[in-house]
Structure 1
């Protein structure tokens, strides 16, 4: 007999699931809200959790993520049992930490069979090895090469890895597009904490963050462009240090400028993704940037140059770019403007809306390289 936690806001569905599993000899604990389910799970971890996706306040994706993040439930097998039937729903659920995805078109016998299979195999999610948080800044001295879009999609991709907490630090106080691209509305911001650097703690930062459905937590530097202003270098250093204590990855979206705030972010990042387009002006800007990095004493190994194809034809060849920069290009992101525009307009990152697209695949490969560094 196994102890199974079922979380579903539909009382009729709860009764049917409870009846089927009790008949099969299992102990069933039920909850009608995500928060209630998490409380019960953390108090007495179940042998398996069955979770609906469409619930008020906290949806099933977030419940999955929180179960994976807690030490007591990190290895608990999770079955998502939902009326949603789209492939993107299955993909997002698995990225959030689900072990199995089953639609509510399944019969009670099919549900019990899947439950027994999961319990027999004890499939959860392997725990990630503890490691210090890594700050990864994306930068280009030349604007318009897709830095923000890449930062967002990279953050979402990393957040899809098991047991990974990811923060997205938005330092583009003059032209931020992160909230728009993620369809989130921050209410607080880093600027509200910057007057007293010593007050900055993980708790205070999390109060300023807004969570995206992918699990990424966005920290804006200002509440709105109308109140745009940079923050001090001391604040940037403190914020990155604190975020590293609570997140596995901190993705930093930066201005196209070597101002003091941006330099502080670059200096205190563990890796710098240097983004360029395959054209002469972008190469020139990248050359200037590399010279500046050398004068600052930044590690050559920490710099990751990548080419983002922002136009369809006529771009310089990879060999020409590498020859001009005198260093290898670590990744090439293909040009898929229609899919990217659709993703931006819908507020859903490309790696979620079109995970099999060439651009999404390239970003996923880049994330794999960075996570192994």
Structure 2
């Protein structure tokens, strides 16, 4: 992930500490001490990210942010503001000027690196919202949840592409792929245009949804492919949402996708073994740097015969034991699976009045209304200066 970072900061102590933290992680660092010089450097060097102070000599950080955000060469460069201006109006002004994140001083190197890595990983998605789905149960066909969420978003006139990474580097058997073949038929059968204009591994479903198959994009290569990440970024620039079907056990490539995701939805049935697997997945995601606020769980009733398995009944249990949001409980019996299988199209289109269709639309509403900007920045807590060096507030 390391790339080129431009720091625009006039305080020598803050500049040295940020520069040291970045170089320790392998980043190439450029530095300027005033706003105008920073803008010129950004236009010339086109860094991967800009770290910006507000109180600068000459033009202030807000104006620098506005100019970078409106410039043709610099508009897509993520901007992290680090400032001692802690008032809500200042924070709002920073985001309004075009900042992607706002960190309050005093800030530790650990906090800065975390924000930098988060913003740089976001570039993988080309600024589309990336929502990843992880199936912790052994129920076949749960990829249809993601497909229906995508179809519901398309009904809201959103541009959506599905990314099938469920079989990436043999992360999962092929039984539950988005377009998996079963008994000679293809669920949500793929239609491939003959004009040759599509990207490798990118296919179109009859419903109009597009699917990028990571295995095809990797073209048989072992491990992460820079070309496949470039392809995801290219697709992301033309979409509002990227919905990703991930394997239960992440590899290097899918770990990159996890870190770039804005929201991760865990699919599980209510049996204790699968709930334990869901809890272990939450622990793993936390280890990879994903906050619980970015996770949600969809519980599945595989038989459709458990009347007490409702969102209201299960919410306290999920929040207490998994520590994440319960998005919805869906009934998914064998008869409904067969119906989806025969129709070869999203259930929200073929059977829009079914309860399952309504539950799936509720999941789509959750995805559409989720607070992707995250919680309001909080003042960093003071720490023992003997245990960690922090960047002091501007004097």
**What is the TM-score of this pair, normalised by structure 1?**
0.54
Assess if the C-alpha contact under 8 Å between 1:278 and 1:321 holds in 2.
no
- 1:229 Cα shift? 6.8
Check conservation: 2:148, 2:347, Cα contact below 8 A: yes
1:240 to 232, 238, 247: 232
Tell me how far apart the structure 2 counterparts of residues 269 and 204 of structure 1 sit (CA, whole Å): 28
Residue 45 of structure 2: aligned partner:
none
RMSD: 3.0
CA contact (8 A) 1:160 1:214 kept: no
Q: Secondary structure of the equivalent of 1:182?
A: coil
For residues 343 and 142 of structure 1, do their structure 2 counterparts lie closer, same or farther at Cα, with a shift above 3 Å needed?
closer
Shift of 1:223: 5.0
Of residues 354-363 and 262-271 in structure 1, the stretch that sits farther from structure 2 once superposed is 262-271
Query: Corresponding residue for 1:140?
Result: 135
Change (3 A) 1:146 1:155: same
On the 8 A contact 1:308/1:332 being kept in 2, the answer is yes
| 1:206-245 paired onto structure 2 within 5 Å | 206=199, 208-222=201-215, 231-232=223-224, 234-235=226-227, 237-245=229-237
How far does residue 234 in structure 1 lie from its aligned partner after superposition?
Answer: 4.1
Q: CA deviation at 1:143?
A: 3.3
Please report how far the alpha carbon of residue 233 of structure 1 lies from its aligned counterpart in structure 2 after TM superposition: 6.0
Deviation, structure 1 residue 221? 2.4
Larger relative contact order (Cα-Cα within 8 Å, sequence gap ≥ 6): 2
Say whether residues 1:277 and 2:269 are aligned partners. Answer: yes
Task: Indicate the SS of the match to 2:153.
Answer: helix
- Evaluate the alpha carbon distance shift between residue 332 and residue 342 of structure 1 in structure 2; reply closer, same or farther with a 3 A threshold: same
Q: How does 1:153-164 map to 2 (within 5 A)?
A: 153-162=148-157, 164=158
Q: What are the Cα deviations for residues 113-144 of structure 1, in whole angstroms up to 9, with x where unaligned?
A: xxxxxxxxxxxxxxxxxx94111110034432
- Residues 1-373 of structure 1: pairs in structure 2 closer than 5 A: 132-144=127-139, 146-162=141-157, 164-173=158-167, 174-175=173-174, 177-179=177-179, 180-186=186-192, 206=199, 208-222=201-215, 231-232=223-224, 234-235=226-227, 237-313=229-305, 318=314, 319-373=316-370
The question of whether the paired residues in 2 share the 8 Å contact of 1:187 and 1:208 is answered with: no
* Residues 366, 307 of structure 1: alpha-carbon distance in 2 compared, 3 angstrom cutoff: same
Deviation at 1:320, TM superposition (A): 3.6
Unaligned runs of 5+ in 1: 1-130, 189-202
TM-score, length basis structure 2: 0.51
For residues 310 and 254 of structure 1, the distance between their equivalents in structure 2, rounded to whole angstroms, comes to: 20
Deviations, residues 291-349 of structure 1 (Å, cap 9, x unaligned): 11111111322112121222234687614444322333121112343122111133122
Residue 293 of structure 1: SS of its match in structure 2? helix
In structure 2, distance between residues paired with 1:369 and 1:310: 22
Query: 5+ unaligned residues in a row in structure 2: which ranges?
Result: 1-125, 168-172, 180-185, 371-395
In structure 1, what is the Cα distance between the partners aligned to 2:197 and 2:283?
37
Cα 1:136–1:329 change in 2 (3 A) is: same
CA change 1:145–1:308 in 2 (3 A) is farther
Return closer, same or farther for 1:187/1:255 CA change in 2, 3 Å cut-off: farther
Displacement of 1:209: 2.0
Q: Deviations over 1:30-77 (max 9, x none)?
A: xxxxxxxxxxxxxxxxxxxxxxxxxxxxxxxxxxxxxxxxxxxxxxxx
Distance verdict in 2 for CA 1:268–1:236, change over 3 Å: farther
Stretch moving more, 277-286 or 253-262: 253-262
Q: Confirm or deny: 8 A CA contact 1:154 1:363 kept in the other structure.
A: yes
Distance of 1:265 and 1:151 partners within structure 2: 16
Is the CA contact (8 Å cut-off) linking 2:132 and 2:246 kept in structure 1? yes
Provide the secondary structure at the position in 1 that maps to 2:303. Answer: coil
Deviation at residue 288 of structure 1 after TM alignment: 0.9
C-alpha distance 336-313 of structure 1, shift in aligned 2 (>3 A): closer
